[in-house]
């Protein structure tokens, strides 16, 4: 073959065996559906710690940090999509393979495994806390809504309520094979997040009218060395709250054009940044310096946020709306985790695509759900573990890996 002929060899394989399967039969996902899916990927468990970051940082630095990290997330997604379009890969791990060889996809897949599996376990723990309560090590009892309504019975225990949720709510959602199929559940999930913000805002305004709120601090209080080091604990929480990069490629692939994906990402980042800051300021006004890292702990019958029967109803609505939100976020994270596990263990071309192999698809789906359930029951309080995972693997997925891809493309000697 001459040199001129070789220059016209197509970049993508033309054989049907190597081509990417058209899993959607010619149908493309919509930008609105992508906005809901990206927003659902962003708004997860991180939202409940945003008010605590305002308590640590102060209102002004927290607002600046939220805006800065949202902007950096937009830049890093643009990096990923740019180098995806320039190469042949359609996955995050594939882009890393093109830049770093066999080590690249292993690093991505391990990070996704740690981050997503940790998030799935934390989601189930929070759902269990909302439905059946929890007993912290200090001897106090945090009752769930089912126990407040009906008392303590075997059927509203943590084990049974989570098992019922896993089988009848989560399993039908995680068995869906296309991300676009989750757009309606994602839309409901975003709606539940807005309900969460709306009710919290209503409770905060009511408390403000009654004079029960504290004036928010605009700057952090650095009274001692411990307060200074607490400032650094807030940054990983906000970084984790904006980590959604593991779902960029599946959603973008179904959209078809990177420009559409960037539009969806920018709209989602603006929406989620507004939701984060709203829940942060209203939660801080509502509970002041008594706010917990998990804001749901503050919403219970002992809280004076609402007062009377109406207050109890609103407190229950806040917790249930957030639990429903996490139930609907769960399948999106599971989708990304399942895809990366399949690519890690079954990357050989002899295996058919995951969506075409029902036995492998169901086995991976059920295994991930069982592992998440068992871990949530065995370790009912892993909040600090979740913060650790988010500040390590999440920051790699969101910022370190995309930046390394850009540096690698310019042939820096140390990469």
Q: According to the model, what pLDDT value does residue 164 have? A: 95
Sign of the torsion angle spanned by Cα atoms 208, 200, 191, 217: positive
All structural domains of the chain with their residue ranges: 34-409
The pLDDT tens digits of the residues spanning 242-252 come to 988 888 888 88
Q: According to the model, what pLDDT value does residue 50 have? A: 84
What is the Cα–Cα distance from 53 to 64, expressed in whole angstroms? Answer: 12
Number of Cβ atoms within 10 Å of the Cβ of 350: 5
What is the Cα–Cα distance from 252 to 223, expressed in whole angstroms? Answer: 47
Cα atoms found within 13 Å of the Cα of residue 100, Cβ hemisphere only: 21
CATH topology of domain 34-409: Amino acid/polyamine transporter I (1.20.1740)
Give the DSSP letter string of 19-53.
Answer: SPP-TTTT----HHHHHHHHHHHHSSGGGGGHHHH
Q: According to the model, what pLDDT value does residue 23 have? A: 42
Q: According to the model, what pLDDT value does residue 10 have? A: 36
Question: Given the structure tokens 């607002």, which residue do they identify?
Answer: 63
β-sheet bridge partners, residue 116: none
Nearest to residue 268, comparing CAs of 37, 108, 49, 111? 37
Q: According to the model, what pLDDT value does residue 141 have? A: 66
pLDDT of the chain, 415 residues: tens digit per residue: 433 343 333 333 333 333 344 444 445 667 888 888 888 788 877 777 788 888 888 888 889 999 999 999 999 999 998 888 776 777 888 888 888 888 988 898 888 888 888 889 888 988 988 888 776 555 556 678 888 888 888 888 889 999 999 999 999 988 887 766 666 777 777 787 778 778 888 888 887 887 777 677 777 777 766 566 777 777 888 888 898 888 888 888 777 677 788 889 999 999 999 988 888 888 888 877 777 777 777 776 555 555 567 767 878 888 888 888 888 888 878 887 888 788 778 776 677 777 677 888 899 999 999 999 999 898 876 666 667 777 788 899 999 999 999 888 765 544 5
Q: According to the model, what pLDDT value does residue 203 have? A: 81
pTM of this structure = 0.75
Tally the residues of the chain: 415
The pLDDT tens digits of the residues spanning 157-168 come to 889 999 999 999
In the three-class reduction of DSSP (H, G, I as helix; E, B as strand; rest coil), residue 184 is classed as helix
Q: According to the model, what pLDDT value does residue 171 have? A: 93
Q: According to the model, what pLDDT value does residue 18 have? A: 38
Show the tokens assigned to 396: 């790699």
Cα atoms found within 13 Å of the Cα of residue 256, Cβ hemisphere only: 9
Show the tokens assigned to 121: 């376990």
Nearest to residue 280, comparing CAs of 196, 392, 206? 196
What is the Cα–Cα distance from 385 to 393, expressed in whole angstroms? Answer: 12
Q: According to the model, what pLDDT value does residue 12 have? A: 35
Q: According to the model, what pLDDT value does residue 332 have? A: 79
Q: According to the model, what pLDDT value does residue 16 have? A: 36
């Amino acid at each position: 073959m001459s040199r001129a002929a070789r220059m016209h060899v197509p970049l993508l394989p033309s054989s049907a065996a190597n081509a990417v399967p058209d899993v959607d039969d010619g149908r493309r996902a919509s930008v609105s559906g992508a906005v809901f899916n990206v927003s659902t990927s962003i708004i997860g468990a991180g939202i409940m710690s945003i008010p605590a970051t305002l308590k640590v940082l102060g209102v002004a630095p927290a607002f600046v940090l939220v805006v800065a990290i949202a902007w950096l997330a937009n830049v890093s997604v643009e990096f990923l999509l740019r180098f995806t379009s320039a190469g042949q890969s359609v996955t995050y791990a594939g882009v890393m393979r093109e830049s770093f060889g066999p080590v690249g996809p292993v690093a991505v897949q391990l990070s996704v495994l740690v981050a997503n599996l940790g998030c799935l376990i934390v989601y189930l723990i929070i759902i269990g806390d909302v439905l059946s309560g929890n007993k912290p090590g200090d001897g106090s009892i945090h009752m769930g809504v089912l126990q407040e309504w009906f008392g303590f019975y075997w059927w509203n225990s943590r084990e049974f309520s989570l098992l019922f949720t896993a089988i009848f709510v989560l399993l039908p959602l995680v068995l869906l094979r296309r991300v676009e199929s989750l757009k309606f559940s994602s839309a409901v999930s975003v709606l539940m997040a807005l309900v969460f913000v709306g009710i919290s805002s209503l409770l905060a305004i009511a408390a403000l009218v009654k004079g029960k709120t504290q004036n928010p601090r605009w700057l952090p209080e650095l009274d001692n060395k411990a307060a200074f080091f607490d400032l650094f604990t807030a940054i990983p929480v906000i970084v984790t709250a904006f980590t959604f990069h593991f779902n960029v490629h599946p959603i973008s692939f179904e959209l078809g054009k990177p420009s559409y994906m960037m539009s969806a990402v920018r709209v989602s980042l603006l929406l989620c940044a507004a939701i984060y800051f709203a829940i942060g300021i209203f939660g801080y006004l509502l509970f002041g310096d008594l706010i917990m890292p998990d804001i749901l702990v503050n919403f219970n019958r002992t809280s004076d946020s609402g007062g009377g029967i109406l207050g109890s109803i609103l407190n229950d609505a806040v917790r249930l709306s957030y639990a429903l939100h996490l139930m609907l976020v769960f399948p999106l994270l599971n989708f990304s985790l399942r895809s990366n596990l399949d690519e890690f263990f079954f990357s050989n071309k002899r295996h058919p695509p995951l969506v075409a192999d029902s036995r492998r698809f169901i086995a991976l789906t059920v295994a991930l759900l069982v592992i998440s359930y068992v871990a949530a029951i065995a370790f009912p309080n892993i909040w600090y573990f979740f913060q650790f995972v988010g500040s390590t693997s999440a920051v790699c997925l969101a910022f370190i890996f995309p930046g390394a891809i850009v540096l690698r493309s310019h042939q820096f000697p140390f990469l």
